[in-house]
Amino acid sequence: MEYVHDLFNFLPNELIIKIDSNLLPENFHGDRHKMMKLSTIIHEILDSMGIASAKAQGLLKPITSGDKLRNSSHAVYLSMENYNNKKYIVGLLKMGQKNLYLYDGAGNLHERKTMCVLDFYIHETKQRMGHGKVLYDYMLQDLRVIPHQLAIDKPSENFLSFLYKHYGLHKIIPQSNNYVLFQEFFDLPNIGTSDIPNETNIEHQEQHSLDEQKLFEKQSTDHYRFPSFGRHAAFKQPSSIGQILDPTRNLSYKNLDQSGV
């Protein structure tokens, strides 16, 4: 039975922690030796989870690692369980702000700096037990956002089902990038947003191919309702993460899948 070595000694009671670029849990206190040791453990966790995520998605390189988080302004929430005084990682949620060009429901192009869900994964043996909802709600409360204010990077069908089930989100506004927005995104102003000037708007739209524009125009006239999510469920690979260490069974990379349930 594998587990995250020594993590319980540092975090005996915590079930969710937030990690930023220093690779330490938020509000963690300790001497320099403890901080360096824990940072090394967190780095190894992120590396192993990133490798597993890449294999699960068929990627040549991992998108998540300790070094990548250290050199970014992103944050990772880790969900954990205790078992026989050992610590196991149950889920991961990666968040970060991005400057995006986004279409609203009328086909107008906007530049928005918005908070994005970059990865969301609950281990397959822990799904449909409420872990995803607890982790997602923790993030929403911590960032003081509501679900429809977030842009989702390459969500799987399972993730879209999760958002529909728990938050009632189902009307997708088609985008020409990998992000998914819901209709309510433009209903209320988001903090730190700005629109593109008209002339820049025109220039940016001209960069898109004619086929892509026709696809957007066609899809933007439709209302996407669960369980039909159009092209977003058709071709996107699950954004799974992690070598998640489970107290009950040994795991293989090929069985990993993204879900927040």
Count of residues in the chain: 261
Residue 237, marked binder: no
Does 132 appear as a known binding residue?
Answer: yes
What residues have CB less than 8 Å from 122, skipping those under 6 apart? 79, 90, 91, 131, 132, 135, 259, 260, 261
Q: What angle do CA 118, 121, 126 make, to 5 degrees?
A: 165
Whether 129 has a binding-site annotation, put simply, is yes
- What is the per-residue pLDDT for 19? 96
| 130 annotated to a ligand binding site | yes
* Residue 17 counted as an annotated binding residue: no
Q: pLDDT tens digits, residue range 134-163?
A: 999 999 999 999 999 999 988 878 889 999
**Is 40 marked within a binding site?**
no
| SS3 category, 87 | strand
Angle between helix 157-167 and 131-143 (nearest 10): 70
Q: Which run of H or E residues covers position 45?
A: helix 32-57
Please tell me the predicted confidence (pLDDT) of residue 159: 86
Domains of the chain: 7-245 (3.40.630.30)
Task: Find out whether 173 is annotated in a ligand binding site.
Answer: no
pLDDT in tens, 105-125: 899 999 999 999 998 888 878
Query: Which regions in the chain score pLDDT beneath 50?
Result: 1, 191-194, 196, 198-202, 204-206, 208-260
Q: Which pTM was predicted?
A: 0.74
144 is in an annotated binding site: no
Residue 123 assigned to a binding site: yes
Is 230 a known ligand-binding residue? Answer: no
Q: Is 231 annotated as a binding residue?
A: no
Q: Is 107 annotated as a binding residue?
A: no
**94 assigned binding-site residue:** no
Q: Give strand pairing partners of 121.
A: 92
124 annotated ligand-binding residue: yes
